[in-house]
Amino acid sequence: MTNKKGVTDGLAMIIFNHKLNEEAIALKELFKNKADTFLFDSGSVINHEQQGHFDKIYDNIYYNGLMNEAWKFLNEKKYRFCMILTSDVLIEDASYLINRLAYCFDDKKNVGIYAPSADEGFHTHTVYNPNKELDEVIFTDGFCFAFRTEVLNRICPIDLELNKYGFGTNRMMGFYSLRLGYKNVIDHTLKVSHPYGSGYNKDKAVKAKNNWIKTFNFREKLYYKIASKNMFKNKVGLFLCRNIARRF
């Protein structure tokens, strides 16, 4: 559903920042006249001139800490949809992105999670492909993606004692979107840039993710195992994961 300006009703754009203050502020400026846009910081040194741009300032609570705070904020403010952007993402056409969100989150399309394609990335199925438009996938990346708040409600609050860094969160968002009967899509009509390998310490993040997975039930573990295999990041994998999430 869209309002008179063509913006998805009940949409919040939330920027996650960690030590890239100027980039975060620039990203907020890019979107603030197009949608309700908020800037959440985790553990940065913010000077007096910059403080007015930030809506929430926390100690370093890492990615999943910010996801928990976004979850509380979205429900408190009654936002039905949210787009998360990390402050190291580069977007050329903000207006087009807003239009695509309105198009994809039309209730008739039944999209639970949306993400633009990326110019590069760890997950090959999220990388830009000029031969595709809207591609249904198992899960999206977590540095620039949008979702229905009801999907986030199924995963939050995340136990930060187990997994504060955020590895695996995007996969499990995909699971709960499928579980709720929605589609997850990559939009290849739009491409964003994100520095490959950026983020938190990989070794620590992988260890935390593995400890988190140990708490999953059988269905979640089976889904995660299949979703993590490159050989299943295709329509066969999507078929399996959809059936595990919904029927198994």
d(CA 15, CA 98): 15
Residue range 67-118, pLDDT digits in tens:
999 999 999 999 999 999 999 999 989 999 999 999 999 988 999 999 999 9
d(CA 24, CA 127): 23
Q: What percent of the chain has pLDDT over 70?
A: 94
| Integer-rounded Cα radius of gyration of the chain | 17
Query: 100, 27 in Cβ contact below 8 A?
Result: no
Does residue 1 sit within a domain?
no
**pTM of the complete model:** 0.94
- Contacts of residues 48-51 at CB distance under 8 Å and 24 or more positions apart, as own/partner, are 50/21, 50/25
Give yes or no for residue 157 having a pLDDT over 60.
yes
> Which CATH number characterizes residue 65's domain?
3.90.550.10
Our count of domains for the chain comes to 1
Residue range 172-189, pLDDT digits in tens:
999 999 999 999 999 999
Question: What does the pLDDT read at residue 86?
Answer: 96
Does residue 83 sit within a domain?
yes
Residue type, 159: D
Query: Could you list the residue range(s) of the whole structural domain that residue 177 is in?
Result: 11-246
Does residue 171 sit within a domain?
yes
Q: Which two tokens stand for residue 134?
A: 């809207």
d(CA 55, CA 201): 26
End-to-end CA distance of the chain: 32
- Report the pLDDT averaged over residues 194-217: 86
Does residue 219 sit within a domain?
yes
The CA–CA distances, whole Å, from 44 to 17, 87, 89, 122 equal: 8, 12, 17, 26
Strand ranges (DSSP E) for the chain?
11-17, 36-42, 56-58, 81-86, 111-118, 134-137, 144-148, 183-192
Residue range 6-22, pLDDT digits in tens:
556 799 999 999 999 99
d(CA 19, CA 46): 9
d(CA 215, CA 60): 24
